[in-house]
Structure 1
Amino acid sequence: MTTPAATDAPAPAPAAPLPPLAARTGAVGGSPVRDILAVTARPEVINFAGGLPAPELFDREGIAAAFRAVLEETPAQSLQYSTTEGEPALRAALAERIAGRGLPTAADDLLITTGSQQGLSLLASALLEPGDTVLVEDPCYLAALQVFGLAGARVVAVPTDADGADPQALEELVVRERPKLFYTVPTFQNPTGRTMPAERRAAVAAVAARRGVWILEDDPYGDLRYDGERVPWIAACPGARDRTVLLGSFSKVMAPGLRLGWLRAPAALRRACAVAKQAADLHTPTVNQLAAARYLDVLDAHVARVRAVYGERRDAMLAGLADALPDGSTWNRPEGGMFVWARLPSTYDTTALLPQVVRQNVAYVPGAPFYAGTPDPSTLRLCFVTQTPEEIGEGLRRLGAGLKG
């Protein structure tokens, strides 16, 4: 009996193609900000493109002490699964903090999230069906546009001015478009840095009350105020409390690597978000939550130190813009936050100019990707918190050289 040669074996059948990716993954592009950061990661680049807190200001010792304390005192709890809603100690401390700022809040009003970005994703899952309409400021926080796009929503831009969304235009769009929600960053907005005044906030709340629409109020930067007085949340306005979700984050004031955020929402919507979170990650890491709850005792003192440094850096950027930008450019003076928004003369295209600016070892974010409506190609966003005043001065000198070609 002979054994057939290996060459006599039948050829394997061709592999069947795999099912395609979900269509929504192709409809939403990646983040241009992340793409720019990848290109400009070289240490010699002065990077005004990111929205990154200054790492040298992280309270490494204070945060490490909080982690050591919870791991030494409650190791079993710290390393165990937690509830989806979040650790009671953190929710109670946060509720007291929020109530102290004029918005009555109980621990049960809050859901702890893995960064406020997850809060946006959970709300999109809980509120949006494919084809639903979402209203946003124009321009708008880029990652929010990604969340709404991935949910299959139709995104419509609300006209804005120096004070934020125009309430009359908002009401007209609500009547015409029948949106599920209006998304806003009213305090030190990303990308523009502007702040919506109290009267404008009350007008926006009144539109939501009259017309029946959710308001998603995102407040990641509110603690970073350098000038002026704090403006109450939209969620605290009469008529808005039963239809406003307030989102907050520890990323800009404690450390983004902890991935800790929270949302405050009416009960039915909060429960729906908790169900969505169970499907996403079960709960936010327990040890991070307990350490943050411990660290809240000293957070305000830390934020005061950060504000002092960031305020100097904002002033350094504002002082150098006139020499760096072309004649006829305009820019704002943010009262807080992380960003300056500039508009060059209409003949400039900041997307087209970016490669020649990067060759000068400096970077910004072109404004166009932040627009849900027709983009303004002459705009750009500059982050001022990550560099020292000296680095900012040198970066602006390079920026000026790059813009001149």
Structure 2
Amino acid sequence: MPNRPTDPPALATRLAGVTSSIVRDLLALTERPGIISFAGGLPAPELFDVEGTAESFATVLSTGARAALQYSPTEGNATLRAIVADRYTALGLPTRAENIVITTGSQQGLSLLAATLVDPGDAVLVERPSYLAALQALTLAGARLIEVPSNGDGVDLDALAELARRHSARLFYTVPTFHNPTGRTLDAHQRGRIAEIAQQVGFRVIADDPYHELRYSGESLAPMAAFCDSDHVVSTGSFSKILAPGLRLGFVRCDPTIKPGLVVAKQSADLHTSTLDQAAAAHYLATGRLSASLARARCEYGRRRDALLAGLESALPPGSRWTNPDGGMFVWAELPEGWDAAVLLPTAIAHQVAFVPGASFFASAPRANTMRLSFTTYDPETIAEGTRRLGLALAG
């Protein structure tokens, strides 16, 4: 008799603690007709500058197609890196092109930083709650995640310092501007103190800032790295929210102590980000069209934020609380104690509306009575209908 086949090896143990993103899973709902989904953090496609982007691709292909279709340096297109550096400088953080590495979306930047800066078992501090995909990347790298509690509208600074010392933390991950999922923004005092604590205790901060330029009210703040020496704060950013997510263009701003390791990690991941997309983005940004496109998006997103906030007044049950963000894409809501957003989600979907239950954004001890709602995808009239449906679903 032939020998019985032996089962193939199991998946790598590093995947054991990494769960699928409920946000990505819920995106399938946006393809179902009739559903109004507040689940995904999606830019509004009708606000994309399709004409300008198409012109940039056409120009690149007509004037330098062979270079645009060839392999390119791992660090990224030199012109694009210089433009990103200039944008940081304009925000109050002097930067050179040598500080920039172009990545395939800011999500790749997070994964590369986790691979470069974290060894299995290292303590990494994260906000409570925190960006789900960052939790995935850090967990996959073997990090031991430790949550830092919030204190009002920001991070509990005393807890941050105490936890960093107690656990000899290597990193603190934060979304300082229009936080995902809560929408909050760390003020100048918080940014300065976090940078100061990082220098005193000796850990690095990953300041993940993909929403920085989506401000609709309030005063602009300098990036966190402007508050300390660059060795302690690494910044990530993205063109997904301000240009187009389909280009998958992000960037990391880092110092010379990190960059060589980051480049090696990227070489092992994909050699380099799409040469053509980088060249087209560099051309587009050089034309100056992004400023007008961003102005349109800020105006419209501000109206959509206001529509969601207005609708939540009657949609959520008495005793609920929610954030009032100055920008970004998200509102974070807390239902009364005892409510469970995950249990309510099927009822909401039956009413043709969706949201993200907040439990997925916690590294431990999730709060079941929380939810994240994104306001950027729909016009104010559709948002009003969505919140009406949400109110009916939550009313039972």
TM-score w.r.t. the length of structure 2 is 0.98
Residue matched to 1:12: 2
Is 2:365 aligned against 1:352?
A: no
**Count of paired positions:** 394
Distance in 1, matches of 2:127 and 2:283, equals 36
Contact conserved, 2:29 with 2:37, CA < 8 A, in 1?
A: no
Contact conserved, 1:40 with 1:358, CA < 8 A, in 2?
A: no
Q: How many angstroms does 1:32 deviate by?
A: 1.1
Residue 225 of structure 1, aligned match among 215, 219, 222? 215
Residue 391 of structure 1, aligned match among 357, 361, 382? 382
Residue 353 of structure 2, aligned match among 338, 359, 362? 362
**1:213-237: CA deviation from partner (whole Å, max 9, x where unpaired):** 0000000001100001111111000
Residue matched to 2:393: 402
**DSSP-derived class of the 1:215 partner:** strand
Q: How many angstroms does 1:40 deviate by?
A: 5.4
Consecutive unaligned residues of structure 2, counting only runs of 5 or more, are none
Residue 149 of structure 2 aligns with an amino acid whose one-letter code is P
Contact conserved, 2:29 with 2:35, CA < 8 A, in 1?
A: no
Alignment of 1:2-401 (within 5 A): 11-39=1-29, 41-238=31-228, 240-296=229-285, 297-401=288-392
Contact conserved, 1:163 with 1:200, CA < 8 A, in 2?
A: no
Consecutive unaligned residues of structure 1, counting only runs of 5 or more, are 1-10
Q: CA RMSD in A?
A: 1.0
Q: Judge which range, 160-169 or 394-403, deviates more.
A: 160-169
**DSSP-derived class of the 2:205 partner:** strand
TM-score w.r.t. the length of structure 1 is 0.96
Q: How many angstroms does 1:144 deviate by?
A: 0.4
**DSSP-derived class of the 2:373 partner:** strand
Contact conserved, 2:333 with 2:370, CA < 8 A, in 1?
A: yes
Percent identity, aligned pairs only? 55
Contact conserved, 2:307 with 2:384, CA < 8 A, in 1?
A: yes
Q: How many angstroms does 1:39 deviate by?
A: 4.6
**DSSP-derived class of the 1:135 partner:** strand
Distance in 1, matches of 2:366 and 2:17, equals 19
Distance in 1, matches of 2:244 and 2:156, equals 34
Contact conserved, 1:138 with 1:160, CA < 8 A, in 2?
A: yes
Q: Judge which range, 20-29 or 42-51, deviates more.
A: 20-29
Q: Judge which range, 210-219 or 93-102, deviates more.
A: 93-102
Contact conserved, 2:169 with 2:203, CA < 8 A, in 1?
A: yes
**1:315-364: CA deviation from partner (whole Å, max 9, x where unpaired):** 11111111111011111110000001111111211111111111000000
Could you list the structure 1 runs, at least 4 aligned residues long, displaced by more than 3 angstroms after superposition: none
Contact conserved, 1:134 with 1:153, CA < 8 A, in 2?
A: yes
Contact conserved, 1:205 with 1:234, CA < 8 A, in 2?
A: yes
